[in-house]
Structure 1
Amino acid sequence: MEGISMNCLNFIMSLVITMPIASDVTSDQIGNVFTEDKSVIFHFNSDKDANMTITDYNGKKVVNKKIFADKPDIDLGQMPKSYYLMQIENEEEKKEVHFCVIPSIESRPKIDDSAIASDLATSWLVKPEQFDSLAQLAKLSGLFWIRDRITWEELEINRGKWADNTKYDLSADIQTKRGLKVYQVFHATPAWAQEVKNSHSFPDDLRDIYNFSAEMAKRYKGSVLAWEVWNEPDISVFSDELGDSYASMLKAMYLGFKSADPTLPVLICSFAMGPGKFAETIFQNDVGNYFDIYNYHIYDKVEKHKERALAHINLMKKYGIKNKPIWLTEAGHPIRRKDELVEYTTEQGRDVAEFLPKAIITSLSAGVDKYFWFILPYYRENDFNLFGLLRQDLTPTAGYCSISACTYALGKAKYLGRLDIEGVNAHVFERDDNDITIALWVDEGKKIPRININAEKAKIIDVMGVDDEVVINEGISKITITESIKYLVIPAGSLKDNPVIDYPREKFEVEQYNPDKISPIVVRLKFQIDSRDKQAENYRFKKLEEARIGIELYNFSQKEFVCRIEPIIPDGWTGSINDDSAIIGRMGMTMRDIRLMPSNDAKSESVEFRVNVIDESGNIETFTLAWIRAFE
């Protein structure tokens, strides 16, 4: 062989012959996830015998035996539901294998939806050859709704030029075929849609994002069942624009989606933070009829989940928005990785498993309609934060078993209220048509609560999904409750105690689209980029210096629109528009300029700047509102 000496080749061949073959332990189950009705069987591929130990979720060693190279099949029989850590060791190597046993499909409540969901980000976080495995693992865990990701520029590679057979088409198709309900989100603008190349800014022409929305609604009809308009634009990581600009884009996208599929639900952006100035500005721009589902995120302690939910609900009430479902579409428990490790430790996995159901239940109790855990597959953020209920090889962490147990125990997870038991968190849910579930835990210590039940027997389920029968003595259930959640499943109608809903909120379905409630005319103000103050949510103007602001007028209808533009100039400011009348052609856009200047008397705090669009009858067709501030 050219370039390799014979001595070198002989040395390489000797290594191949003499080096031991590394042990390999595999199963026929995707991700080593077994259901309770199956025997746990592994295949041991090695040229050497080894010792095998298996430890369950509680740290109990349940198997300790020798395995042999000449007996490759390891049949452990049917095992209790739990997360398990298998360790294989001989004199040359040590190997860990993670697996779990979860409820069977047949044992689960017979339902077609649940308030418990998960973010998968399938298209971004796993390889296409893993799409089907991840979808099956999601379905096995009892999930229905999942959240994915999409990249605009990879689908529309140039204006009007669409890519075929992308990974996004594949993921949507596979997940739908596996019985999952997919909703999509994106948060980047293509370079071709901007003069200043910044993917975190919105497109220069809102007709581009209208057309993209319409095409997505048509392309994925039946396989993507809802769309979110941008991820977390309230923080600069995902957008450098302010709330007024987002409101204009939201209107354009909503009109685009509905033009192609009026039944398609559209989510407002996911707010990363609690309600603040960015969110306030959006709602001051009259967006209430331009989205179907409210949407927010949280990464915080369990007790903060209720506070965040109520803050967003109060924001909706403030602006008269009472008829929208509320989805919490990212909520998780970031784990800081240890030293050189790139996966959770077993202890960290238990921490996630214990946190997950309490966070879900706390948010649902405060009025959230659907809770998406972040995230099912492995995800490493900023090098040090670990997320994911699965490991890199799609094998489970304890958190995967926990969400599987949670969906098994709560089923529909329709919130019915709280039981007033001192020192005990006790939340009641409709599981299915036949059962209700009481989720129970204490913040510290132990309690034995008295629960009045008109039944002879009940079922208790632990955080791993292990269920045991409970005998009801004289109509009273007495079970020991600890900091680890327990689910008490009883027949519907058998609970004698009356649950209390602390935060009553009527539940709404997505409203039928009504084009008469919205305007096809959208107006957007174009301020200088360097005038944006993202944190303060205003545009900054130096006193006595005139600045030009563009006024973009879009007509997303098939009829010509004639209008007058009416800027409302704040006190202490001067302003003039180059032409206050406009004729906007169908599906067209026209531009006007306004010159603004703060005087020395202009206030230094934010003031409202509004531009009305007046129709031929003298009525306000639409408007936009931004906040501006003068400085010395």
Structure 2
Amino acid sequence: MYKKLIILVSTLLSVSIASLVADPSPIDSARLRLTTSRPAHIFTESAPVVFNLTEPAGQTYSWRVHDWQGNLCAEGVLSEGETSLAIKKLPRGYFELEVKSETAVRWEPPIPFALVSDPATRTLNADSPFAVDSALSWTASKGVKGTKLDPEKPYEVIADIAQLSGVSMIRDRLGWFETTNPKPGVYEWGSYETTAALLAQRGIKILSLYESFPETKPSPSWTKDGLYDLAAVYQFSQAAAQQFKGRTVAWEFWNEPDLKRKIPAWDFAASQKAAYLGFKKGNPDVNVLNGSISNIHRAAGMLRLLLDNGMGDYYDTFNLHTYLLPKYHSRVMRETQSLLTAYGLEKKPLWVTEVGLAYEGNGDVAPLQAGSDRREHGPDQARAQAERVVTTEVTLHALGAQRVFFFVLPAFNEANGNKAWGLLRWDWMVKPGFVALSNLTHQLGDAQLLGDYTLGPGVQAYLFTQCGTGKNAPRKGTQTLVIWSNVDRTISLPYPGERLELVDLMGKVSSLTPAEKGQYSLRVGPSAVYLNGLSGLTPATPFALELKNEKKSSVTELSTILRIKLGPTFKTQAQTYASFPSSPAEAEVEVYNFSDEAITGAVKNLGSGYELQGLPERVSVPAQGTISLPVKLVFPKVAPIGATMVKLGAEFPGRKVASATIPILADLPAVATQCEERAIPAMDVGSWIKNSSGKMDIQINAASGEITFPVSFTDNVDRWIHPALKIPKDTLNGALALSFEIRAAPKSTECSGMLVLSDARDSSQIVYGEQPETSFKVNDQWQTITIDFRSHPMALRPEQIRLLRVGCNPKQNSYAFSLRNLKFYVEKKP
């Protein structure tokens, strides 16, 4: 549908600060060609909704406008010779304009546009929890990803669009490249300075991050090791914080380090410390965030190790990402907060810097640009995204997140172009999700959460009080309920007032009167609605976000960093441990001093289960300097079954030095004599759950001990087969590891295998499943897959596992694979 829009109706974007969008497709001169003066076709209430014709209409056209629910909102006739089409008396919302010539049989594909509140009528709340990830410095650059559909000045346009969203803060990116830091001490900020200035002009503050380093032109300022060069990290962080002071009010060091497999947790913690000190040197008042954790349920072990290495003193605000369904947010937040509490960090602010719609599948609509692979959301997907904007932002805030950033404002695709993320299309047209965000900030951007409110089973409701700041003064002291439901239903609200204001997901306002005295009735569903004009309501569970105004350690106190650099006989595994080496093993202890005065003190061994040789009694480190101490680690000949924690600390007067900690773990075969094998019950068809996009069977061969899963697929289907084994409660209690053998049928094409462990009772409920970092290929040869729980510390404990789902994505319509020898390992009792 939308691909034809480019070919047939060319809705060229024109803004006051940009030229028309380049159109790669030839246009039939008989077709109506429309432009607007608004970015992304987003109008405000203070300006008329007018579409201009690039030349007078050559014949008479009928036109009509539908809203996001398909309701007819306006219609009319465009006479021959007219040069503009004005649409009057529309409420706020998302709309689609269709036109049809007098000689045509069908309506042309719809042209999206929106009507939102005017930024001039709002007072931005600097502390609003509702924000958006724009990544504009990268995703809105001219011609990004080869697009030809962007405006001439995309940075200006996206800054205008961000202002129209009503957010007071956006998340952006900064590149530490050769172009920004061509040689030591020289910085060329280029487009990053441009975007920061544009956002500042519009009153929007920035949370920025960098997740890159120069690799092709190393100099004395850095090394090819990138993040391992703490001095370079410190210097660039200092320069960036100083350059963007007052505009970038928060800095996040790195993005999703738990997905960056090359750097272990202990080394990342050292880099986080250096970045923190650099940011604070450049701007003492800046808010520094940790590198965002993307999957807390899968990366709990990495986060624990980061905190064991003292990262807690080197961030002001904790941040994480989650793309799970809103109903699972409470679990994500609960387990995150529980882990932080264990380290005494529960009073620090928490932000969710990425959340979005992640389970809608590939984009339903073909790419808008000829030759592009970037698919677009279909109508149902776009509506689901709009609903998710509100439910995720409100829910996560209610669960304790001070700020929530929806991902992402400009068009952006992943998964080879199949997965669409943006709140705008690739032709820079508005989507319903953007309008839902703009309406959310209009309704609740200057409101304070009071707590949740009970309106019946399956209904989520949260009560806010309006602060009435500045231009929002008329609403001061009133209350607003935001409400949605898992299914469409009618609910009742006892309330004595004579009239309330009901606002739908996109901003349309209607008046609500009682169905009977003191009793309101309204329809709710997955699309959130707002009920304004309330007063005197009391939340079921009051919202309490208590933050400690504790005395923080000074930057000088934190300016000493310890790092252990392991020698070549160690091998890092899964970011969370190093393998047990041959003994003795070489290492280096590095001491960094990022203060302006020399320090003298001692490095201490705080660990046990090994001998540390070579540490001097006293060491001195020059100002802004580092020293490296060669040492040897001697381990026992018989490796222990558990991890040996190599842990070092230091004592320097006037300094608070975080320990450096590295778990050393022997491979499972090396401790096999200390383990006992136990079979996982799997030889019963009733223990398995069929789970496939094809027609699947389960076959048991008791003689060979194999379970075989044949499957047949139809053409043009997403092929997957992931049977799940039901694990009886407490079966894996005390498990150190589990393993199984897997093989595809002879001559099968090799494909990727996947394992999920979950505490769900049914395969369809697996959303919060654990996916240990074990990837494997399934081919026609038997291979053993081992999941070592010692090296994959999860939020989910082995005894909680109730489902083991294993499978693959075949490349052929007729396929089968087999499993055998499913077992787990426990420590032998003496």
TM-score by length of 2: 0.68
Which amino acid in structure 2 is aligned with residue 459 of structure 1?
Answer: E
CA–CA separation in structure 1 for the residues paired with 2:566 and 2:452: 50
- Residue of structure 1 equivalent to 2:96: 85
Contact 2:365 2:378 in 1 (8 A): no
Distance change in 2, residues 1:412/1:451 (3 Å):
farther
What CA deviation, in whole Å up to 9, does each residue of 1:480-509 have, x standing for no partner? 333321111125xx22444413x7441468
Mean alpha-carbon deviation: is it higher for 77-86 or for 457-466? 77-86
Give the 3 Å change call, closer, same or farther, for CA 469–515 of structure 1 in structure 2.
same
RMSD: 2.9
Tell me the equivalent position of 2:407. Answer: 374
Corresponding residue to 2:512 among 461, 470, 492 = 470
Match of 2:594 among 548, 556, 564: 556
Cα separation, partners in 2 of 1:21 and 1:95, compared to 1, 3 Å: same
CA distance in 2, matches of 1:621, 1:79: 62
Q: Deviations over 1:34-93 (max 9, x none)?
A: 123332110123564455343210112334555355212001123122211223455599
Deviation at 1:590, TM superposition (A): 0.5
Letter aligned with residue 397 of structure 2: L
- Taking the TM superposition and a 5 Å limit, the aligned residue runs for 1:514-593 are 514-515=553-554, 518-527=557-566, 531-535=570-574, 537-542=576-581, 544-571=582-609, 573-577=610-614, 579=616, 581-593=618-630
Once the two structures are TM-superposed, the CA of residue 440 in structure 1 deviates from its matched residue by 1.2
Is 1:500 aligned with 2:522? Answer: no
Aligned equivalents of 1:598 and 1:474: distance in 2?
Answer: 79
Q: Which residue of 2 aligns with 1:258?
A: 280
CA distance in 2, matches of 1:312, 1:220: 31
The residue aligned with 1:623 is 659
The yes-or-no answer on 1:461 pairing with 2:503 is yes
Match of residue 821 from structure 2: none
Q: 1:620 to 1:488 in 2, by over 3 A?
A: closer
Q: Give, in angstroms, the shift of residue 449 of structure 1.
A: 2.1
Deviation at 1:441, TM superposition (A): 1.7
**Cα shift at 1:202:** 4.4
Tell me, what secondary structure is at the counterpart of 1:153? Answer: coil
Q: Is the alpha carbon distance of 1:349 and 1:592 closer, same or farther for their aligned partners in structure 2, counting shifts above 3 Å?
A: same
Shift of 1:592: 1.1
Q: How many residues align?
A: 604
Output the CA distance in 2 between the equivalents of 1:527 and 1:390. Answer: 47
1:94-153 Cα shifts (integer Å, max 9, x gaps): 454210112233655674441100000010001262112111111112111100001111
Residue 488 in structure 1 maps to residue 531 in structure 2 = yes
Q: State the match for 2:177 in structure 1.
A: 153
Specify whether residues 56 and 620 from structure 1 end up closer, same or farther in structure 2 by C-alpha distance, changes over 3 A only. Answer: closer
C-alpha distance in 1, partners of 2:138/2:438?
A: 23
Q: Which amino acid aligns with 1:105?
A: P
Structure 1 distance, partners of 2:462, 2:407, is 23
The structure with higher relative contact order (CA 8 Å, sep 6+) is 1
Match of 1:430 in 2: 465
The residue aligned with 1:10 is none
1:203 counterpart SS class: helix
Q: 1:273 aligns with which of 295, 313, 324?
A: 295
* Matching residue's letter, 2:436: S
Counterpart residue number, 1:13: none
Name the residue aligned to 1:25: 34
Q: CA deviation at 1:272?
A: 0.3
In the alignment, is the contact (CA less than 8 A) between 2:292 and 2:353 conserved in 1? Answer: yes
The DSSP-based 3-state class of the residue aligned with 2:631 is: strand
Aligned to 1:102: 116
In structure 2, the CA distance between the partners of 1:392 and 1:413, relative to structure 1 (3 Å rule), is farther
1:246 aligns with: 268
Q: CA separation of 1:188/1:99 partners in 2, compared to 1, >3 Å: closer, same or farther?
A: same
Q: Report the Cα distance in structure 1 between the residues aligned to 2:134 and 2:387, rounded to whole angstroms.
A: 20
Residues 1:495 and 1:476: Cα distance change in structure 2 (over 3 Å): farther
The match for 1:135 among 149, 154, 159 is: 159
- The separation in 2 between residues aligned to 1:19 and 1:267, in whole angstroms, is 52
| Structure 2 residue aligned with 1:385 | 419
Q: Give the conservation status (yes or no) of the 8 Å contact 2:228–2:271.
A: no
Unaligned runs of 5+ in 2: 1-25, 143-152, 368-374, 469-475, 671-830
Q: Is the 8 A contact 2:73 2:90 kept in 1?
A: no
Shift of 1:30: 1.6
Answer with 406-415 or 264-273: which moved more: 406-415
Q: Secondary structure at the match of 2:580?
A: strand
TM-superposed deviation, 1:513: 5.8
Give TM-score, length-normalised by structure 1: 0.88
Contact 1:242 1:532 in 2 (8 A): no
| Inter-partner Cα distance in structure 1 for 2:78 and 2:156 | 32
- Choose from 403, 418, 423 the match for 2:437: 403
Answer yes or no: is 1:441 the counterpart of 2:481: no
Match of 1:353 among 386, 411, 420: 386
- In the alignment, what sits opposite 2:789? none
Cα distance in 2 between the residues matched to 1:508 and 1:484: 36
Against the structure 1 CA distance between its residues 20 and 140, is the aligned structure 2 distance closer, same or farther, given a 3 Å change threshold?
A: closer
The answer to whether the 8 A contact 1:277-1:536 is kept is no
Call closer, same or farther: CA 1:547–1:340 in 2, change over 3 Å.
farther
Q: Is the 8 A contact 1:189 1:198 kept in 2?
A: no
Secondary structure at the aligned position of 1:152 is classed as coil
Question: Residues 564 and 174 of structure 1: is their aligned pair in 2 closer, same or farther, counting only changes over 3 Å?
Answer: same
Q: For residue 209 of structure 1, report the CA deviation from its aligned partner.
A: 0.9
Residues 66 and 96 in structure 2, CA contact (< 8 A), matched pair in contact too: yes
CA shift, 1:360, in A, is: 1.4
Deviation at 1:594, TM superposition (A): 2.0
Contact 1:39 1:79 in 2 (8 A): no
Cα separation, partners in 2 of 1:457 and 1:338, compared to 1, 3 Å: closer
1:123–1:529 Cα change, 3 Å: farther
**Aligned partner of residue 479 in structure 1, secondary structure:** strand
Does 1:598 find its partner at 2:609?
no
Residue identity over aligned pairs, in percent, reads: 23
Cα drift, residue 225 of structure 1? 1.0
Q: CA deviation at 1:606?
A: 2.2
Amino acid at match of 2:203: G
Instruction: Return the offset for 1:365.
Output: 1.4
* CA offsets 1:205-263 (integer angstroms, 9 cap, x no match): 21111111111121111121110011110113xx5212211221111111111123211
**2:126 corresponds to 1:123:** no
| Secondary structure in structure 1 of the residue aligned to 2:161 | helix
Classify 1:530/1:486 alpha carbon distance in 2 versus 1 (closer, same or farther; 3 Å).
Answer: farther
Q: Distance in 2 between matches of 1:420 and 1:163?
A: 55
In the alignment, what sits opposite 2:70? Answer: 59
Distance 1:516 1:170, change over 3 A: closer
Equivalents in 1 of 2:653, 2:527: separation in Å? 65
Residues 458 and 469, structure 1, Cα contact 8 Å, conserved in 2: yes
Q: 1:286-327: per-residue Cα shift (whole Å, max 9, x none)?
A: 232221111000111111122212221112211101331111
* Map of 2:748 onto structure 1: none
Q: CA deviation at 1:476?
A: 4.1
**CA–CA separation in structure 1 for the residues paired with 2:237 and 2:392:** 33
Cα distance in structure 2, aligned partners of 1:395 and 1:624: 50
